[in-house]
Amino acid sequence: MIFETHAHYDDEKFDADRVELLSHLLKEKNIDKIVNVGASFRGCSDSYDLAQAYPSVYAAIGIHPENIEDYTQEAETWIREKAVDPKVVAIGEIGYDYNWVKDPEERKRQGQVFERQMELAIELGLPVIIHSRDAAEDTFNTIVRYNEQGLKGIVHCYSYSKELAIEYVKMGWLIGVGGVVTFKNGRKLRETVEAIPMESIVLETDCPYMAPEPHRGERNSSLFLPYVAKAIAEIKGLSVEEVESITYKNALSLFKKVKGNN
């Protein structure tokens, strides 16, 4: 069975077949658990609703760095209220995204919203799902500070060096591995997978984005996770079944509210 740790089934690209996928198709294809991850305030609300509607779906709720204008007092109050629900398993996705942001003041504002949500996660006793793009140093330094307070989580869609990944692993954090591990230009991620223990890896899609080979460029979904598991298995010298089982247990170890089936 597969634990999908990062999906966006609230996205409009799933409007045509969302019910079919989440009602039975994913389960029939060995996708046992799904964390649907909020990014905007609306995305958090939609993720929460999906978690209520489908037994296999859980929600992460948080404001993505590209949507920091959504982080209002109203949003924080809503997150605080919904976080106690049994189907809400993490705060995320939160972090830094410097890809399009060059203004120091805007980056500072991202940091303020990120740190407020890290503090909220500690207060609520939930792990976090981290988004980090072109912000390796600031992300790592922030995580180190909150790790010292006992916070744990996933560095989602990991894109940095194997050396930095090893430092995250030493702190007990998990590394999210998705379709990039199958790409011809995904050498850095494959090196990371080779360098870190299986006990520190979780499977994710970031669907509808980042579909693995041989479906690159198509709409992604959890149905493509076996390609990711196969790539990891080849790197680690394991069977696909072993990769699926270990990563499933890794996700359960982080998402304490989720009850597993293997």
CATH 3.20.20.140 fits 2-254, yes or no: yes
100 pLDDT higher than 90: no
* Count of other CB atoms within 10 angstroms of residue 1: 14
162 pLDDT higher than 80: yes
Q: Angle 225-236/187-195 helices, nearest 10 degrees?
A: 60
User: What global pTM score does this model have?
Assistant: 0.97
| Mean pLDDT of all residues in 116-144 | 98
Radius of gyration of the chain (CA): 17
CA distance 94 to 143: 11
CA distance 20 to 105: 44
Task: Provide the residue ranges of all domains of the chain, joining segments of one domain with +.
Answer: 2-254
The number of CA neighbours under 13 Å toward the Cβ of 254 is: 31
pLDDT at 115: 98
Across all residues in the chain, what is the average pLDDT?
97
Query: Token pair of 76, please?
Result: 């924080």
pLDDT at 182: 98
pLDDT at 102: 87
135 pLDDT higher than 90: yes
> Each residue of 41-78: pLDDT tens digit?
999 999 999 999 999 999 999 999 999 999 999 999 99
Q: Which helix (H) or strand (E) holds 231?
A: helix 225-236
Query: Token pair of 184, please?
Result: 């011809």
Q: Which residues pair with 59 in a beta bridge?
A: 36, 88
Q: Long-range contacts: 42-46, Cβ < 8 Å, 24+? A: 43/8, 43/10, 44/75, 44/78, 44/79, 44/82, 45/78, 46/10
Q: How far apart are the first and last CA of the chain?
A: 8
- DSSP code string of 38-84: --SHHHHHHHHHHHHH-TTEEEE----GGGGGG--HHHHHHHHHHTT
pLDDT at 261: 66
CA distance 239 to 245: 10
Query: Token pair of 58, please?
Result: 């859980």
> Each residue of 165-218: pLDDT tens digit?
999 999 999 999 999 999 999 999 999 999 999 999 999 999 999 999 999 999
